[in-house]
Amino acid sequence: MSQISTSIGKILDAVPHLRRGPGGVVGVVKDGECIGLRAWGYADLDQCIPMTTKTIFPICSISKQMVCLAMVSLLKNPTAAMTARNEETNKQFDQELKRLLPNLDVSELKLADLYNMQSGIRDYWAMTTLWGARPDGQFSLLHDADEALKRIKSFHFKPGTEYSYSNVNFHVLGRILENVSGMSLAQLLAERLFIPAGMTTASLNPNTYGLPLPIVGYEGTEKTGYFAATNRIEWAGDAGIAASLEDMVAYEKYLDRSLSESESFYTESSQAQKFRDGKAAAYGYGLARFEIAGKQAIGHGGALRGFKHERLQIPSERLSVVVMHNYETPPNVPAEYVVKQMVGFKEPEHPDLVADGEWKGDYLDPDTQLCISVKDGDREKPNTLGISYGPGTGEEAVTLTSEHEAASDSMKLKLEGDTLHVQRLNENRTLKASRLPPLTEDDLASTVSSDYTGTYHCDESESTFNVTGDHGTLYGSFDGFLGKGPVWLMRRIGKDIFLLGNPRGLDSTPPGDWTVVFSRKDGEKVEGCTVGCWLARNVAYVKK
């Protein structure tokens, strides 16, 4: 302990420089004790208010694991209202699940599919784009949440068979806990977690427009400059908790104590989960499982426009790290840096390979109807590639393991001619995507815009897709119960295949590129299309 304590200051001094921005905090817990805290920069740049370890952040999706702890608590210690019904707690939860999703066949949906991200329900924050939301628009728990749930009428995969991140899972879970327990989610979290853990300033704060002062979240970069982010959504269950670094350190100490108790809530919720086919799942109870520095880790990130956070725990080392930023640069790098420095990890050497042009291009997976784009990777690492498939505008990095194979912790790729095989290890899915022939400038210029322009409608989601443009340039916008959305740029990548850019959404991380695949009747007139992203696949529209 003494050796780590004397070096931790030097380790933490490096953290602000790894991913620079307006302000942030980092805390480290080892063997149940806090051994280091750092705060740097500003909570509010305009008012010159310094960041401190007491500054309260919206911790965003880190809330999910806390909601699961409240759920396990209710299963073990039901409220008086639950006991009075004289029914098993699980049965009460299942009945409420059916009531909250009135237009969805939930016969094969289990409660565990929600908190393990295996429900197959499309993410409602992604779907808000198709419902006409603007990035800085409002989303009300009172007025909009139920409307969103009414429009959930199908799955994009069979429950229990795959993993796909979906915030609606935890929104529904939070509602179930409230309605069954007879207590508000805020009360449940305070009584069953915040008070026992000593999180003295933590609370449920669903309204992102009214964040606890003085914190301000920032969009932008050092090159573009930083500007205050606008958030006007309400969320609870999938996010909504606000806490300081000192609260989070108290939480980590509480979890460390809990792991030594075989009957604790966290001992149960931190166990690895499985898919229906028996394969191990990398996500469960609001916790992701991954490897850092050769050690098994569990944790979760959190994001809202203007904020990015990471908390992770290495149970074998009794080591936890929390990093929170009031800017949008992901903090996983600094969090992992702390772990690697503390355990003395050295990066492994990779084969001396260089990615050539054979890999690069756009591929279409016929099942998901999603595009997979392969690009150059890190310029300083010529043996890497950048893969665009998941949410957001960033890329997933993979490292070449042979001339035609590449891998990361979560993905394996194999290139066979014009076929790209992709094993999404954490998702329990294998993609078999075909290369789209590259388009020339003449191909793009000769695009017949009138083939595609018009109005398309999806009855299931009650969404209208408007395609406009001329001279080969197309634009798309969506109308729905949330209003008339902004116009987004569309880019042709293949025959009747386009990408619709969605770099900003109500939530963070945004959907990124939606793949739009148009279909023709008898190979001639366009009659419809599918619109999809990793968070919400295969949404079918018919041309009017």
With vertex at residue 186, the alpha carbon angle to CA 184 and CA 189, rounded to the nearest 5 degrees, is: 110
Of 199, 181, 317, 292, which Cα lies nearest the Cα of 251?
Answer: 199
Give the relative orientation of helices 167-181 and 63-76 as an angle to the nearest 10 degrees. Answer: 30
Residues 127, 536: contact at Cβ < 8 Å? yes
Q: What percent of the residues of the chain are helix, what percent strand, and what percent coil, each to the nearest 5?
A: 25, 35, 40
Distances (CA, A) of 504 to 129, 229, 364, 409: 10, 11, 24, 27
Strand partners, 536: 533
Among the listed residues 10, 30, 54, 61, the single catalytic one is 61
Whether 61 is catalytic: yes
Q: CA 330, CA 328: separation in Å to the nearest integer?
A: 6
- Please classify residue 315 by burial: count the beta carbons closer than 10 Å to its beta carbon, then call 0-12 exposed, 13-18 middle and 19+ buried: middle
Backbone φ, ψ for residue 499 (5° rounding): -110, 130
Whether 64 is catalytic: yes
Please give the full DSSP string across 179-204, using - where no structure is assigned: HHHTS-HHHHHIIIIIHHHT-TT-EE
Residues 60, 287: contact at Cβ < 8 Å? no
Among the listed residues 30, 64, 110, 543, the single catalytic one is 64
- Cβ atoms within 10 Å, residue 94: 17
Q: CA 239, CA 302: separation in Å to the nearest integer?
A: 8
Q: CA 471, CA 451: separation in Å to the nearest integer?
A: 11
Q: What is the dihedral of CA 94, 98, 100, 102, to 10 degrees?
A: 180
Give the relative orientation of helices 89-100 and 63-76 as an angle to the nearest 10 degrees. Answer: 130
Which two tokens mark 351? 């084969």
Q: CA 352, CA 84: separation in Å to the nearest integer?
A: 67
Which two tokens mark 281? 């799942």
Give the relative orientation of helices 332-343 and 2-18 as an angle to the nearest 10 degrees. Answer: 150
- Torsion sign over Cα 69, 73, 76, 82: negative
Residues 103-107: contacts with CB under 8 Å, at least 24 apart: 103/150, 103/151, 103/152, 103/153, 104/152, 104/153, 104/154, 104/155
Q: Which residues are catalytic?
A: 61, 64
